Structure 1
């Protein structure tokens, strides 16, 4: 069902370790031509192009691109009470955790009258994408909208694919989550076309371009985000979900197997990886998978994900080797289920989110931990972070010098400008102290 990779006795170099990591063959660039065509259609055809794409790709033509406000309000009222309560609690927790991500302005004084202010300014308008393929993700509405609101974004547009079962409108649970958050600009559009619409705007639909696009999606969404980067900012090119569990012999094989299955049910290309220094424990997990997978509601999807090249049981000599493997992998979700978890945590430097101990499963982070579940995939955690309030903020430096403070560095500026053969740079400073001779001719 799942492959075993035995690294015991090996001392791979950094590049060799990267080559040993199990990955799917998903290639975002392979989808670029299709994504580029869809974006081009939207830029030239506007609303008609988006409605045509929905009919062609989603099997339904929405009555209108923008969801009416009354439909959003009705969706809020129709939310099943337990779902509404869970969403409200998730909103509360994510808002509390996101609030800690907004840096306070700071002033650095470099002398009398010489200061640099560091401030963080939100982008004015964002486009948030919520997928709607194999599953419905109201939790992704929360994870995208709340940090944007905490950051101070004043204009938020949300897009999700039209649903055939609901007459071409956005899924009502997604609409209900948007309504709970006060988002009333919602569009029934999906895929690469939606990303193009956000980036370039759709004038005939009243959809203004955004400055930043966030949210997960399929390979075409990821390709589209790559293509529009520069026209608008993006969070990351999110791909199929990943879980990597580091566990030792003290862990519970049933719980680890359950956690691997929980992410495998997302998608046939989902990655589920266990790294352990105990061959006996790996065998126990494999037995549990054999018992639990046939019971899964999405058995076929889980079996394909676990049997793919992207999933594995990895055997290593010790937990330090497990940490090295994980850091090279850069997992979206990392679970640590070992006896000395704090010591292992000190060795981890690359992960989208880290779940510590057997009572912190990834599912907790998906919904109610307070952390954000929009995280880097495909190894991007090695150099980027998950979504947060900081995603919507731009650091800006405000420089304020008095005349005397500028005079104090005048000669040093002249020296550096002269060394770089940029005399006008020097003149721009000395002009403030030469009596205005140049101005008077």
Structure 2
């Protein structure tokens, strides 16, 4: 494996330092591949855990007073109670720019159609006369949905969180987003408008790990306002502190996944268009200086052309400094592979949040990928489409967790409850097997609980 920084296309002072990881000519194990692909360095979940532990403890002990102190410390706002007044939601919707409202309404419509199709069916299996086992899908009672703030505004994340919860049949939905000093300590008005469009009235101006803690443990009522009741499931993307908080409260509540800073990988061959590859890498680098943008290819010529395009397009984009920092970080770069097989193996080892396929016969290649949050096939399915209007969900697992986690969907808010209904004769038919197995496990009372029914 060779790692280098190379960019001959432009002067070092202005070039994107998009590094190279060369895997060609090597037969690598899965562990070696996972170690080789670009990843963020520096601050890790372990580094954030101590800070998040303190925040969670403060919220549990101090309630709304602690939340107010954290809002002043992290967001620079004075806050007595974080519940957003309903009038503020209505005003935000009324003031929403018509073109943005139209775009949100179209995004909601497409997301609803996809979500409605995701709900699994209840099943009932008859294993014999009088022996019936069923599985029923039941929504959780209450959910807490987190919408990040920070460097950008994410009304689209309101849609991505709320729509599948509604499709699942959740009756109680609370939403939290960071308070913004420039908007009087309320979340961004576009986020409030999106919540109002979806009929969500319980909205809190709480950011970061403290929002996750408040959802998980609840906050008692004070003279300043009503209680924030604990939830059953917490979902939504965020920074490393949000992801760490979700990890720490998992078990107290369910979570969707540990969705941290965004990432994109593009599997491309010599047929890919460099300008499209570069544009898509930049689109995710725009989110955050720690965002990851990775190109996996067997074509040195494509890699060189993409570098040229990255320099040109990064210089022209609005958030140029942020984009350059993300593209030049250790979490980004080109991974050179011998061919398609090694490229697919590298994709599965990386387990990208967003994976674009820009190769010959892209649909067939996409069908072979095992690990990804979402797969975008061909030149006309960029990640930006999934971020806003594809109908798919953009709350997806990051940092390799797509190897075992799914993106946010209707089943995130459902529980599968098994129902066992046996008659006397049906139980008698298997009673001997139960007694034999309970004896083999040295749990005789299990067998007795069956035989007593026939004595």
TM-score by length of 2: 0.94
Cross-structure match for 1:59: 76
Cross-structure match for 1:5: 21
**Which of 87, 100, 110 is the aligned partner of 1:83?**
100
1:99 paired with 2:116, answer yes
**Which of 142, 161, 175 is the aligned partner of 2:159?**
142
Q: Give the Cα–Cα distance (whole angstroms) in 1 for the partners of residues 175 and 93 of structure 2.
A: 16
Report 1:29-428 matches (<5 A): 29-62=46-79, 64-204=81-221, 205-428=226-449
For the aligned residue pairs, the C-alpha RMSD in angstroms reads 1.0
Q: Give the Cα–Cα distance (whole angstroms) in 1 for the partners of residues 244 and 435 of structure 2.
A: 47
Q: Contact conserved, 2:292 with 2:332, CA < 8 A, in 1? A: yes
1:20 paired with 2:36, answer yes
Cross-structure match for 1:437: none
- Write out per-residue CA displacement over residues 303-331 of structure 1, whole angstroms, 9 at most, x where no aligned residue: 11100111111111111111110000000
Q: Give the Cα–Cα distance (whole angstroms) in 2 for the partners of residues 15 and 46 of structure 1.
A: 44
Q: Contact conserved, 1:217 with 1:238, CA < 8 A, in 2? A: yes
Q: How much has 1:197 moved relative to structure 2?
A: 0.7
Q: Give the Cα–Cα distance (whole angstroms) in 2 for the partners of residues 7 and 424 of structure 1.
A: 59
Q: Give the Cα–Cα distance (whole angstroms) in 2 for the partners of residues 285 and 23 of structure 1.
A: 20
Q: Give the Cα–Cα distance (whole angstroms) in 2 for the partners of residues 23 and 264 of structure 1.
A: 14
Cross-structure match for 2:8: none
Q: Give the Cα–Cα distance (whole angstroms) in 1 for the partners of residues 300 and 66 of structure 2.
A: 55
Q: Give the Cα–Cα distance (whole angstroms) in 1 for the partners of residues 367 and 271 of structure 2.
A: 19
Q: Give the Cα–Cα distance (whole angstroms) in 2 for the partners of residues 114 and 15 of structure 1.
A: 46
Q: How much has 1:31 moved relative to structure 2?
A: 1.0
Q: Contact conserved, 2:21 with 2:37, CA < 8 A, in 1? A: no
Secondary structure of 1:213's counterpart equals strand
Secondary structure of 2:454's counterpart equals coil
Q: Contact conserved, 1:62 with 1:162, CA < 8 A, in 2? A: no
Q: Contact conserved, 1:62 with 1:169, CA < 8 A, in 2? A: no
Q: Give the Cα–Cα distance (whole angstroms) in 2 for the partners of residues 348 and 233 of structure 1.
A: 27
Q: Contact conserved, 2:256 with 2:412, CA < 8 A, in 1? A: yes
Secondary structure of 2:25's counterpart equals coil
Structure 1, gaps ≥5 residues long: 435-441
Q: Contact conserved, 1:126 with 1:211, CA < 8 A, in 2? A: yes
Q: Give the Cα–Cα distance (whole angstroms) in 2 for the partners of residues 330 and 88 of structure 1.
A: 32
- Write out per-residue CA displacement over residues 24-45 of structure 1, whole angstroms, 9 at most, x where no aligned residue: 0241121111111111111111
Q: How much has 1:342 moved relative to structure 2?
A: 2.7
Q: Give the Cα–Cα distance (whole angstroms) in 1 for the partners of residues 279 and 96 of structure 2.
A: 29
Q: Give the Cα–Cα distance (whole angstroms) in 1 for the partners of residues 24 and 91 of structure 2.
A: 58
Q: Give the Cα–Cα distance (whole angstroms) in 2 for the partners of residues 185 and 169 of structure 1.
A: 13
Q: Give the Cα–Cα distance (whole angstroms) in 1 for the partners of residues 410 and 375 of structure 2.
A: 18
- Write out per-residue CA displacement over residues 269-319 of structure 1, whole angstroms, 9 at most, x where no aligned residue: 111011111111111111111111111111111111100111111111111
Q: How much has 1:64 moved relative to structure 2?
A: 3.4
Q: How much has 1:63 moved relative to structure 2?
A: 5.3
- Write out per-residue CA displacement over residues 369-419 of structure 1, whole angstroms, 9 at most, x where no aligned residue: 000000000000111110000101111110000111111111111111122
Q: Contact conserved, 2:65 with 2:80, CA < 8 A, in 1? A: no
Structure 2, gaps ≥5 residues long: 1-16
Q: Give the Cα–Cα distance (whole angstroms) in 2 for the partners of residues 273 and 411 of structure 1.
A: 59
Q: Give the Cα–Cα distance (whole angstroms) in 2 for the partners of residues 72 and 63 of structure 1.
A: 18
Q: Contact conserved, 1:320 with 1:344, CA < 8 A, in 2? A: no
TM-score by length of 1: 0.97
Secondary structure of 2:352's counterpart equals coil
